[in-house]
């Protein structure tokens, strides 16, 4: 994988915050399953929550960069936006790759291999 530009913390916070709610994840899933574009009304019809709650969820997804809204006549169409999602995915992939490399290099934490008996008396190297 090529070196990706670092993802700003604010973008990660916004995307993870948006994806933390199951209704917002469901909205994205439904949008993708329906071709990536739906009106707010079509989305709201799929949920048992109120219209203001649905529009609030859409707003959070839009602020996080996971959705963009396009006006076509009187309708507002929500469209899955991939840039922030892709940046978050790349950050996660880098995190996993780094963890896998560390896991391959060390079967167990360094303080165990250096003979420290327990966490109680463990000191970081050089302390």
List the chain domain ranges.
9-83
Mean pLDDT computed over 74-91: 92
Q: Residue 64 has which token pair? A: 């996080």
Chain segment 98-112, per-residue pLDDT in tens: 887 776 666 655 545
**Chain-wide mean pLDDT for the chain?**
82
Q: Which CATH number fits domain 9-83: 3.30.200.20, 3.40.630.40, 3.40.630.30, 1.10.10.10?
A: 1.10.10.10
Chain segment 49-58, per-residue pLDDT in tens: 788 899 999 9
- Give the angle 121-125-127 at the CA atoms, nearest 5°: 70
Give kind and range of the element (H or E) at residue 58: helix 51-64
Q: Pick the range with the lowest mean pLDDT from 37-41, 103-107, 123-127.
A: 123-127
Mean pLDDT computed over 70-88: 92
pLDDT of residue 69: 93
pLDDT of residue 8: 77
- pLDDT at 123 exceeding the cut of 70: no
CA 21, CA 120: separation in Å to the nearest integer?
A: 38
pLDDT of residue 2: 45
- Indicate the SS3 state at residue 74: coil
On whether the CB atoms of residues 36 and 79 are closer than 8 A, the answer is yes
On whether the CB atoms of residues 51 and 44 are closer than 8 A, the answer is yes
CA 122, CA 115: separation in Å to the nearest integer?
A: 9
């Amino acid at each position: 994988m090529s070196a990706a530009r670092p993802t700003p913390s604010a973008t990660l916070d916004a995307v993870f915050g948006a994806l933390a709610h199951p209704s917002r994840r469901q909205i994205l899933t439904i949008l993708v399953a329906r071709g990536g574009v739906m009106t707010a009304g079509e989305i709201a019809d799929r949920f048992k929550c109120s219209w203001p709650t649905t529009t609030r969820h859409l707003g959070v997804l839009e602020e996080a960069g996971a959705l963009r809204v396009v006006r076509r006549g009187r309708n507002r169409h929500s469209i899955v936006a991939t840039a922030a999602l892709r940046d978050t995915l790349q950050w996660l992939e880098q995190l996993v790759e780094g963890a896998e490399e560390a896991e391959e290099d060390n079967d167990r934490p360094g303080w165990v291999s250096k003979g420290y008996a327990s966490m109680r008396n463990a000191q970081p190297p050089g302390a």
